[in-house]
Amino acid sequence: MSYTLSYPRCLRLARIAIMLLLAVAALAQWVLAWLQFIQPLAQGAALAAQPLRPLIAANLGLLLTLGSVALVYLFLPDLALADDGLAVRTLFGWRIVPWAAVTSVRTIPFDRSSRKMVLVQGRWRWGMPWLHLVSTCLGAGLQRGVLFTSAIRDFEPLLGRLRQEVALAAPQAVLDDQFFSLPARLILEPVPTLDGLVGRSRDEDWALANLAQSARAMAAVTAGLLLVQLLIMALEGGAWWRPVALVGLGAVEWVAGALYVYALGAFLPGEVELHQGARLYPFAQLPRALLALPMAMLVVAGLPFVASMVGLAAIVWAVILTAVLVQQVYRLPSILPAMAGAAIQALAQFIVLALVFTS
């Protein structure tokens, strides 16, 4: 492509560093596994006596890491405009998103900054399943999605040309200028986002349908930990009861979190209904679901300790967001009174994380 739309140098260098970290770690694990397999043979040991599991795990980890590197490359890719569609630079070269294959162009604005994110979704043949994960991480369903932000070069001309071409080639496509991405908002504007969710919970009456989004958020947290646990079991082995326990603990956490937000009304000014706690608590836990993806990448690359540190960071993030949520619910002047239950919450989530990473 003659004119590539790329991101600032710091972002490109960060992407390269992440890819190198994953690739080098996985390759080192693969080399070590083969050396440990070959060394006894060179000393005269019988081939049948050598354990195959470390070798299989190293090869599987290398293969999965290749997929992880491809996903990192696709998350905020370089773009270009072609006559027949939007050109996307992948790990294996340029691919085209045909204009006619686009089903939606969703612009995600933010209240307190001029930054924007744009998600292009559609039905084309390449990028599966990685581009599905891009849409899922933004709460935009399971369609393939190409994401770019206002940090990319010539953002406004790119967005204008994109909307123009899609409108001509696919008149049925959705052009949404105000798409609300809860995960993106919680990352970049957590306080106003939680404040809006609290206000909405006060305005709406109890209804089972209103819990659907909360249930999906809590299920995403459990699914993220479950993914990491299953990968560890595939690479290192483990007891079958652990995934079952994670599912059960996820349900218990939702109930306990709802009761926690509700019970604080006995000590703090204000009154909250139990259904409000059930609806709001899962949203503050979404960082744990989002960071489960890099945790899984680090696990398959042979870096479980680094993955566990990411898990600890996710817990700290979720605990802070829960304190901010309590502050907004009870209209407190600061989050200090809301930190009362933070230690208990952090301890409980740490125990769950330890269950995942300990053998």
Tell me what the mean pLDDT of segment 112-133 comes to: 90
Identify the weakest region by mean pLDDT among 111-115, 199-203, 225-229, 331-335: 199-203
pLDDT, mean of residues 154-168: 94
Going along the chain, which residue ranges are E strands? 79-82, 85-90, 93-98, 102-109, 116-122, 144-149, 174-176
Count of positions (residues) in the chain: 359
pLDDT of 170: 92
Say whether pTM exceeds 0.85. yes
Q: Could you report the per-residue pLDDT of 167-213, keeping only the tens digit for each?
A: 999 999 999 999 999 999 999 999 999 999 998 887 766 556 678 88
β-bridge partners, 79: 5, 88
Mean pLDDT of the region 10-28 = 96
| Bridge-based pairing state of the strands 102-109 and 174-176 | parallel
Q: Which residues face 108 on adjacent strands?
A: 117
pLDDT in the model for residue 92: 87
Reported confidence tier of residue 39, pLDDT bands at 50, 70, 90: confident
Per the CB < 8 A criterion, the answer to whether 262 and 274 are in contact is yes
Instruction: Report angle CA 20, 23, 27 to the nearest 5 degrees.
Output: 135
pLDDT given at position 207: 59
Provide the pLDDT for residue 43. Answer: 81
Q: What is the DSSP string of 243-310?
A: HHHHHHHHHHHHHHHHHHHHHGGGTSSS---HHHHHHHHHHHTHHHHHHHHHHHHHHHTT-HHHHHHH
Q: What is the mean pLDDT of residues 60-64?
A: 95
Q: Which token pair is 142?
A: 């399971």
Residue 226: pLDDT band (50, 70, 90) is very high
Reported confidence tier of residue 112, pLDDT bands at 50, 70, 90: confident
Which pLDDT belongs to residue 2? 58
Mean pLDDT across the chain, nearest whole number?
91
Report residue 66 CA to chain centroid gap.
18
pLDDT band of residue 94 (cuts 50, 70, 90) is: very high
**Residue with the larger pLDDT of the pair 297 and 239:** 297
CB atoms within 10 A of CB 150: 17
The answer, yes or no, to whether residue 339 has pLDDT greater than 90, is: no
Q: How confident is the model at residue 37 (pLDDT cuts 50, 70, 90)?
A: confident
CA–CA dist 22, 27 (Å, integer): 9
Region class of 237: left (phi > 0), else alpha (psi between -120 and 50), else beta: left
Q: Which of 246, 171, 340 is nearest to 238 (CA)?
A: 246
User: What local confidence, expressed as pLDDT, does residue 200 receive?
Assistant: 84
pLDDT tens track for 237-286: 888 899 999 999 999 999 999 999 998 887 888 778 888 899 999 999 99
With 70 as the cut, is the pLDDT of residue 1 above it?
A: no
